[in-house]
């Protein structure tokens, strides 16, 4: 392939990477907006019921306007105005979230179509002689990729913390102020607000626990890799609407801590790659503990790629996040006597096979 064609291929790869990064951001934002819509819808439903109750009370007061105490009349009208204002505000907030979700879904669809067309138009580049020993696979580049992967993960978690729990805490402050105003005037109403605050707090707490699990699942130290993988698979399936099948072969057993971490992180990374870069709808995981070498297979039915070219550092894959992730994973496993094999093609699914000694012996 001539220089101009290779340059075009690299440009398409870079564009695909940008599109995939943006699609990942949109997907994370959609998850956050879905939660916000659900929470806001609960508040709107409650406010509608509250307005209906107040409307009934207003009719009762109007029917007895001549005998009702003036203080009660003023109180019910003030409460009606406040309830109507709150319902209007929350409906506007709900509509805002729904419109944002609709726009993001349309943007996601368009970007997905563009990425698919570009992916199909990328021509596989031949591997250059000596590239396997070139700078792409050098130890220094391996270190760079490990550091970059860590920084990317920290950036992702920081963004999720900002858009998720941090935003929820802001809402907590607003609802707390509402409760303060209602305690003296309407204790029953204040109790309802506190109940809503408790529900939102529970949801936020679960999200924080998910972040902690992503950073370092405590159950990995307490229970081992098998229960941790099961928990992660269940959570992944629920959050991403992707069918995930997990098969465990052999008797569950504990391994050295660093080996359990490597196995779990590898499975986690491969599942995320299948979701973010292959647009897979199904993932199959097999964890074999029957021998002295732990074996893991992770297969997905998403878009494939030229695995051979990617693993030897072909120029067309130097900016491909999935390829760089697999190269780094391969280097990590080989450092401890393990092995990584990747089977994929641009028109087929991807299968990654991992092997790791069960101990240092």
Confidence of residue 9 (pLDDT cuts 50, 70, 90): low
The span from the CA of 220 to the CA of 213, in Å, is 9
313-338: pLDDT as tens digits: 777 777 778 888 888 888 888 888 89
* Mean pLDDT over each residue of the chain, to the nearest integer: 77
How distant is the alpha carbon of residue 338 from its chain centre?
Answer: 29
pTM: 0.52
pLDDT(305) > 80: yes
Q: Domain ranges for the chain, please list them.
A: 3-124+160-213, 216-357
215-270: pLDDT as tens digits: 667 788 888 999 999 999 998 998 888 999 999 999 989 988 888 989 999 999 99
pLDDT(28) > 50: yes
DSSP code, position 360: -
Higher pLDDT, 252 or 71: 252
130-188: pLDDT as tens digits: 333 344 444 444 444 455 555 565 666 666 665 566 666 666 666 676 777 777 777 88
3-state secondary structure (DSSP) of residue 352: strand
Q: Between vectors from CA 17 to CA 141 and to CA 29, what angle results, nearest 5°?
A: 115
CATH architecture observed for domain 216-357:
2-Layer Sandwich (3.30)
């Amino acid at each position: 392939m001539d220089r101009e064609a290779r340059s075009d291929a690299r440009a398409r790869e870079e564009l695909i990477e940008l599109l995939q990064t943006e699609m990942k951001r949109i997907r994370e934002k959609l998850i956050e907006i879905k939660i916000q819509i659900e929470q806001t819808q609960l508040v709107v439903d409650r406010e509608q019921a509250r307005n209906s109750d107040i409307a009934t009370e207003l009719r009762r007061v109007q029917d007895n306007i001549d005998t009702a105490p003036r203080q009660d009349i003023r109180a019910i009208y003030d409460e009606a105005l406040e309830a109507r204002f709150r319902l209007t505000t929350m409906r506007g907030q709900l509509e805002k979230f729904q419109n944002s979700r609709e726009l993001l879904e349309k943007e996601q669809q368009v970007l997905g179509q563009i990425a698919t067309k570009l992916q199909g138009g990328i021509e596989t580049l031949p591997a250059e002689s000596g590239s396997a020993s070139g700078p792409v696979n050098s130890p220094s580049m391996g270190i760079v990729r490990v550091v970059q992967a860590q920084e990317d993960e920290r950036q992702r978690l920081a963004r999720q913390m900002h858009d998720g729990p941090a935003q929820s805490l802001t809402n907590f402050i607003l609802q707390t102020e509402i409760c303060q105003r209602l305690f003296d005037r309407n204790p029953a109403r204040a109790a309802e607000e506190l109940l809503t605050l408790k529900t939102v707090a529970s949801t936020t707490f679960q999200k924080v626990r998910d972040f902690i699990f992503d950073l370092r699942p405590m159950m990995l130290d307490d229970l081992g890799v098998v229960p941790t993988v099961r928990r992660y698979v269940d959570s992944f399936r629920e959050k991403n609407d992707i069918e995930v099948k997990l098969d465990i072969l052999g008797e569950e057993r504990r391994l050295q801590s660093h080996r359990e971490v490597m196995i779990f992180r590898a499975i986690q990374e491969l599942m995320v790659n299948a979701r973010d870069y292959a647009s897979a709808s199904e993932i199959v995981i097999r964890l074999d503990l029957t021998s002295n070498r732990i074996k893991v297979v992770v297969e997905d039915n998403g878009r494939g790629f030229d695995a051979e070219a990617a693993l030897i550092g072909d120029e067309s894959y130097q900016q491909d996040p999935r390829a760089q992730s697999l190269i780094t994973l391969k280097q990590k496993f080989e450092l401890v006597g393990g092995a990584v094999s990747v089977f994929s093609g641009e028109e087929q699914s991807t299968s990654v096979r991992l092997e790791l000694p069960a101990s240092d012996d």
